[in-house]
Amino acid sequence: MEIGRWVSFLLFGLLVLRVGSEELEQNQRTERISGSAGDVLEDDPVGRLKVFVYELPRKYNKKILQKDPRCLTHMFAAEIFMHRFLLSSPVRTLNPEEADWFYTPVYTTCDLTPNGLPLPFKSPRMMRSAIQLISSNWPYWNRTEGADHFFVVPHDFGACFHYQEEKAIERGILHMLKRATLVQTFGQRNHVCLKDDSITIPPYAPPQKMQAHLIPPEVPRSIFVYFRGLFYDVGNDPEGGYYARGARASVWENFKDNPLFDISTEHPTTYYEDMQRAIFCLCPLGWAPWSPRLVEGVIFGCIPVIIADDIVLPFADAIPWEDIGVFVSEEDVPKLDTILTSIPPEVILRKQRLLANPSMKQAMLFPQPAQPGDAFHQILNGLARKLPHDRSVYLKPGKKVLNWTAGPVGDLKPW
């Protein structure tokens, strides 16, 4: 690339910074989300649904967490915090006869390697065991075979329970969950691991930790494009090309020497601060299409550059992702510099104003304690919008739809 082109790109970045600072001085940093998305984002689910929480033996949840407290901080922790939230939520009912929804608190991702990565291999057996328990001890599962039940399954590929896509596709969604509503981080259109009626949520990112790293909003955004993370996964993809479908490798190969791109595998202690100094933050797929960078980008006002074909984003009916982000197809990664530098400054500024909206940030977080409009409430909003249940979901006494012996033989072993 010619030096002159680099200089023009840098001037473009400085122009954005200058215009942005002028906007800040005029106190025009935020913009309300217009239309139905803004209304949905501000919905209050209280009074619109009632949830019954099954009381399961501790081995399905609390005992697992007690064994490994790291589960509270990894990006799959939504299953734990959703349980805690519901126990004290005003939507909870202790009378199952008046419940609209039934929730089974199973911590299927809290089985970690020494490096802190969740192992999904026991998850299907654990989930089967929990469903067998509730169907034997309460009558409510058997009325619908789970059609009025929801489960939080924040694995890489949701209830397919595997971190590698080929094996996840081969497994498919655990058959016993085929009629249930799945609340999951994984979302990709036309994929066997995403049901049409699933609720796609953000991954867990620690609110208190991010809050502690906030910097003054007037600090200029002097980084044009920012990314920290793997470009290759040599351990699991030694031949290359499979991890991130080659998109991350393409980012590195094309832009490692481009001065507009601050990209590296290093994860500095100033990671959160750096995101707040950047205009664009890359959010490429990894083994799965989603990552915590989506949450971090929204929280820190860094425009997310989403590189994951056919991704289904969290709370898409409430958050206007097209307005706040930039979508780049995986095959267009080599054109990233041209795509981003071609965005007019006024478009960038509008995206930044929308990202500064507190309601949008709140919707991406699972705070402790819960706050109005947060991710917990967005999940409840999603469940409330599915009510009332169609009468067809209720089965005649004794009728069975699900095949309890379907799936890999290993899943049928006792847990």
pLDDT band at 204 (very low <50, low <70, confident <90, very high): very high
Query: Is 23 a residue whose pLDDT tops 50?
Result: no
Angle, vertex CA 80, rays to CA 122 and CA 185, nearest 5:
75
Contact present, 192 and 173 (Cβ < 8 Å)? yes
Asked if the model's pLDDT at residue 68 lies above 50, the reply is yes
User: Quick one: 265 exposed, middle or buried, by C-beta within 10 A (0-12, 13-18, 19+)?
Assistant: exposed
4 token code pair: 């002159």
Instruction: State yes or no: pLDDT of 344 exceeds 70.
Output: yes
Q: Which pLDDT score, from 0 to 100, does residue 15 have?
A: 47
User: Exposure string (b/e) for 339-374, b if CB count within 10 Å is 16 or more?
Assistant: bbbebeeeebbebbbbbbbebbbbbbbbbeebeebb
pLDDT, position 35: 52
pTM, two decimals, is 0.91
Per-residue pLDDT reduced to its tens digit, 143-160: 999 999 999 999 999 999
State the pLDDT at residue 53.
98
Q: Which of 35-39, 148-152, 164-168 has the lowest mean pLDDT?
A: 35-39
pLDDT above 80 (res 22): no
pLDDT in tens, 100-116: 999 999 999 998 888 88
Amino acid identity, position 151: F
Mean pLDDT for 276-298 is 96
Q: Model confidence at 31, in pLDDT bands (50, 70, 90)?
A: confident
Per-residue model confidence (pLDDT) at position 167: 92
| pLDDT band at residue 170 under the 50/70/90 scheme | very high
Report whether 187 contacts 241 (CB < 8 A): no
Q: What confidence score (pLDDT) does residue 18 get?
A: 44
The distance from CA 388 to its chain's CA centroid, rounded to whole angstroms, is: 26
Q: What are the φ and ψ backbone dihedral angles of 277, each rounded to 5 degrees?
A: -100, 0
Cα–Cα distance measured from residue 325 to residue 306, given in angstroms and rounded to the nearest whole number: 7
Give per-residue pLDDT as tens, 88-102. 999 999 999 999 999
User: What per-residue confidence (pLDDT) applies to 3?
Assistant: 44
Residue-averaged pLDDT of the chain: 91
Helix (H) or strand (E) holding 85, with range, is helix 78-87
Higher pLDDT, 342 or 41: 342
Average pLDDT over residues 399-403: 91
pLDDT of residue 242: 86
The share of the chain scoring above pLDDT 90, in percent, equals 79
* pLDDT, average across residues 160-173: 92
Band (pLDDT 50/70/90 cuts) for residue 37 is low
The whole-number average pLDDT for the span 270-281 is 98
- Band of pLDDT at residue 247, cut at 50, 70 and 90: very high
Residue 10's pLDDT is 52
The residue among 366, 43, 97 whose CA lies nearest residue 206 is 366
